[in-house]
A and B are shown apart, each in its own frame.
Chain A
Amino acid sequence: MTAQLPDNQSWRKGSIAETVDWEKLRNDFPILQRQVNGHPLAYLDNAASAQKPWQVKEAEQALYDHYYANVHRGVHTLSQEGTDAFEEARAWVASFINAPEKEEVIFTKGTTDGINLLAYTFGLDYLKPGDEILLTGMEHHANIVPWQLVARRTGAVIKVVPVLENGTLDLESFDKLLSEKTKLLSMVWVSNSLGTINPVDYMVQKAKSLGVPVLLDAAQAAPHLAVDVQALDVDFLVFSAHKVIGPTGFGVLYGKRKWLEKLPPFMGGGDMIDQVRFEETTFNALPHKFEAGTPHISGAIGFCAALKFLAQIGMDRVAAREQALGELCRTKLREAFPELRFIGEAPERVAVVSFLLGEAHPYDVGFILDKEGVAVRTGHHCCQPLMDRFKIPGTVRASFAFYNKESEIDQLIAALAKAQKMLLP
């Protein structure tokens, strides 16, 4: 269990020297062995949530069987051991994203929680009437609605970088929209519905050159790409553990110390205080100032195990494997179904394949795919403004993880052929 903390290069390369046997690696994910509706499960809904290796469950079970107690409180042995493991998780997360200090890693319930935390601290304290929050047209509702709520209270205005037909951002508009009125750029790194990898290096630098702080939604990037908050130079970055083969209900907010020191606490309660008096309360140091109440202890322990699993493979190999699967899927779909329309064909993309099969409604297609054991997501993917932009009700989305295999693409194609036969006369 006491694997060494990898440095940023090791996160990319992975700790195992030999070639990864991807087929064998699937055995670490017990759920992938199951049957659905009489077919082997082809789980292609990884952008919604990733499956977990047994090591995650085992780590959580070890916690409950051997050293479970509340953290940061007791003097007794269990609480000490639990706190050590909990804080070890923080060190692993800091290493995973190359945060300069582990105190800059705040544990949250997930991406949505992290964005709301910032909306209600940064947003309420720093936005005035007429100030602008710059978003993009491919944001998840989680990076739209919190800012709308805050804009309503502060009088701030939301501006949106348009999306081009191929699913990339209109950078010319971005350059124009970014101004001295912009008080925050809050944007998605990788689109959950298009797979587009946005040019964050350019966009973050451009924002920084005007002194605009940047919040990066890395929910769809963290599972697939090496993350380096120092190289990115973002002020804030959020993601969820459950999409990174970790537990649900657990996530991360990274913030630069200078911001986290300045911002007021979000929620009040235990753990986040220094001294409580009815006259005045002073707050605990980072990261505890933003972690009121008993945290999701098993979530942290489980996520630490997930990160140790990924550290062995290395994020470059994860990215390459997924890239190969995603592109193979696109090629095979194009060959098999000339009438298929891809939504999102950005040159820089992850293995998210969003499409429409002729005139068939995504709901109908998804239903028939499920009958054939293929799990995909259908609908608007919590991106209604983006669907409106493409004038579609939604898409069928196949999204890959490194543990998927080539034969699952063939299973998808066969199931789609059946859907085509049944739905399109």
Chain B
Amino acid sequence: MSYPSIQEIGDEIVEEFSWFSSWEEKYEHLIEMGRQLPIIDEAYKTDDRLVRGCQSRVWLHAESEDQRVVFRADSDAIITKGIVALLVRALSHQPAEDIVRSDLSFIDTIGLKAHLSPTRSNGLVSMIQQMKQYAGSQLNH
């Protein structure tokens, strides 16, 4: 099976979001994506997979499959979950090297960068760090 690159997925997401003119439409779409994110198996929602944030919590599970990294993730807040869905869509099933190098600028382009600010304390910044760390650890094997 072939996968589009992170860049291609990012472009696709930017294209999708360009349809919306108001913040309400944009966030309704984001929330919808959060709802469609395959719900992580409860067995994976353990404390060691929990990315702590003061405001909302994120669970992240990573594993390697056929030379690619697969992420499963979830959040207890739906807007956070929407962004989690975007990140999983872009980074899951990608080669570890591409994940480490990715700049995720599409998040900025679609105007959601504020959610990745450390002051939001919603767990997303740490989640991205952990995604890249996991990918990095696969490279060293």
A interface with B by C-beta (< 8 Å): 360-364, 366-368, 371, 378-380, 393-394, 418, 422-423, 425
Contact in complex: B23, A364 (CB < 8 Å): no
Interface status of B66 (Cβ within 8 A of chain A):
no
Q: Known contacts being A361-B78, A367-B79, is A422 close to B24, with CB within 8 Å?
A: yes
Q: Give the residues in chain B near A360, CB-CB below 8 Å.
A: 78
B interface with A by C-beta (< 8 Å): 23-24, 27-28, 31, 35, 54-57, 76-80, 122
Contact in complex: B76, A393 (CB < 8 Å): yes
Q: What is the bound-complex CA distance between A423 and B50, given in angstroms?
A: 23
Q: Give the residues in chain B near A368, CB-CB below 8 Å.
A: 27
Contact in complex: A364, B57 (CB < 8 Å): no
Q: Is the interface of A mostly helix, strand, loop or mixed?
A: helix
Contact in complex: B23, A363 (CB < 8 Å): no
Interface pairs A-B: 8 shortest CB-CB: A361-B77, A363-B77, A363-B56, A363-B55, A364-B79, A379-B55, A364-B77, A364-B78
Query: Most chain-A Cβ atoms within 10 A of its Cβ — which of B27, B31, B79, B122?
Result: B79
Distance from A159 Cβ to chain B, minimum over Cβ atoms (Å): 27
Q: What is the bound-complex CA distance between A423 and B80, given in angstroms?
A: 12
Q: Give the residues in chain B near A363, CB-CB below 8 Å.
A: 55-56, 77, 79-80, 122
Q: Known contacts being A367-B79, A371-B23, A393-B76, is A361 close to B28, with CB within 8 Å?
A: no
Q: Give the residues in chain A near B56, CB-CB below 8 Å.
A: 361, 363, 393
Cβ 8 A contact of B55, one of A378, A418, A422, A425: A378
Q: What is the bound-complex CA distance between A366 and B55, given in angstroms?
A: 10
Distance from B130 Cβ to chain A, minimum over Cβ atoms (Å): 20
Distance from A425 Cβ to chain B, minimum over Cβ atoms (Å): 8
**Given A363-B56, A422-B28, A423-B78; 11 other pairs, CB 8 A cutoff:** A361-B76, A361-B77, A362-B55, A363-B55, A363-B80, A364-B79, A364-B80, A379-B54, A380-B54, A394-B55, A422-B27
Q: What is the bound-complex CA distance between A152 and B8, given in angstroms?
A: 55
Q: What is the bound-complex CA distance between A297 and B28, given in angstroms?
A: 50
Q: What is the bound-complex CA distance between A380 and B54, given in angstroms?
A: 8
Q: What is the bound-complex CA distance between A153 and B86, given in angstroms?
A: 47
Please list 7 pairs of residues, one from A and one from B, whose beta carbons are closer than 8 Å in the complex, sorted by A's number: A361-B56, A364-B78, A364-B80, A368-B27, A380-B54, A393-B76, A423-B31
Distance from B74 Cβ to chain A, minimum over Cβ atoms (Å): 12
Q: Give the residues in chain B near A371, CB-CB below 8 Å.
A: 23
Query: Most chain-A Cβ atoms within 10 A of its Cβ — which of B23, B24, B35, B77?
Result: B77
Q: Give the residues in chain A near B57, CB-CB below 8 Å.
A: 393
Query: Most chain-A Cβ atoms within 10 A of its Cβ — which of B23, B35, B54?
Result: B54
Distance from A27 Cβ to chain B, minimum over Cβ atoms (Å): 31
Tell me the nearest residue of chain A to B27, going by C-beta: A422
Q: Give the residues in chain A near B24, CB-CB below 8 Å.
A: 418, 422
Q: What is the bound-complex CA distance between A378 and B56, given in angstroms?
A: 10
Q: Give the residues in chain B near A361, CB-CB below 8 Å.
A: 56, 76-78
Tell me the nearest residue of chain B to A367, going by C-beta: B79
Distance from B126 Cβ to chain A, minimum over Cβ atoms (Å): 15
Q: What is the bound-complex CA distance between A425 and B55, given in angstroms?
A: 22
Q: What is the bound-complex CA distance between A422 and B24, given in angstroms?
A: 8
Tell me the nearest residue of chain B to A425, going by C-beta: B35
Q: What is the bound-complex CA distance between A366 and B120, given in angstroms?
A: 11
Q: What is the bound-complex CA distance between A368 and B27, given in angstroms?
A: 9
Tell me the nearest residue of chain B to A359, going by C-beta: B78
Q: What is the bound-complex CA distance between A368 and B28, given in angstroms?
A: 11
Q: Give the residues in chain B near A378, CB-CB below 8 Å.
A: 55
Tell me the nearest residue of chain B to A418, going by C-beta: B24
Cβ 8 A contact of A422, one of B31, B54, B76, B80: B31
Tell me the nearest residue of chain B to A393, going by C-beta: B76
Tell me the nearest residue of chain A to B23, going by C-beta: A371
Distance from B96 Cβ to chain A, minimum over Cβ atoms (Å): 31
Q: Give the residues in chain B near A425, CB-CB below 8 Å.
A: 35
Tell me the nearest residue of chain A to B24, going by C-beta: A422
Q: What is the bound-complex CA distance between A142 and B3, given in angstroms?
A: 50
Q: Give the residues in chain B near A366, CB-CB below 8 Å.
A: 55
Q: What is the bound-complex CA distance between A423 and B31, given in angstroms?
A: 8
Distance from A122 Cβ to chain B, minimum over Cβ atoms (Å): 30
Distance from B134 Cβ to chain A, minimum over Cβ atoms (Å): 25
Q: What is the bound-complex CA distance between A187 and B72, given in angstroms?
A: 43
Tell me the nearest residue of chain A to B35, going by C-beta: A425
Distance from B75 Cβ to chain A, minimum over Cβ atoms (Å): 9
Tell me the nearest residue of chain A to B78, going by C-beta: A364
Q: What is the bound-complex CA distance between A422 and B23, given in angstroms?
A: 11
Q: Give the residues in chain A near B54, CB-CB below 8 Å.
A: 379-380
Distance from A344 Cβ to chain B, minimum over Cβ atoms (Å): 20
Q: Give the residues in chain A near B122, CB-CB below 8 Å.
A: 363
Q: Give the residues in chain A near B28, CB-CB below 8 Å.
A: 422
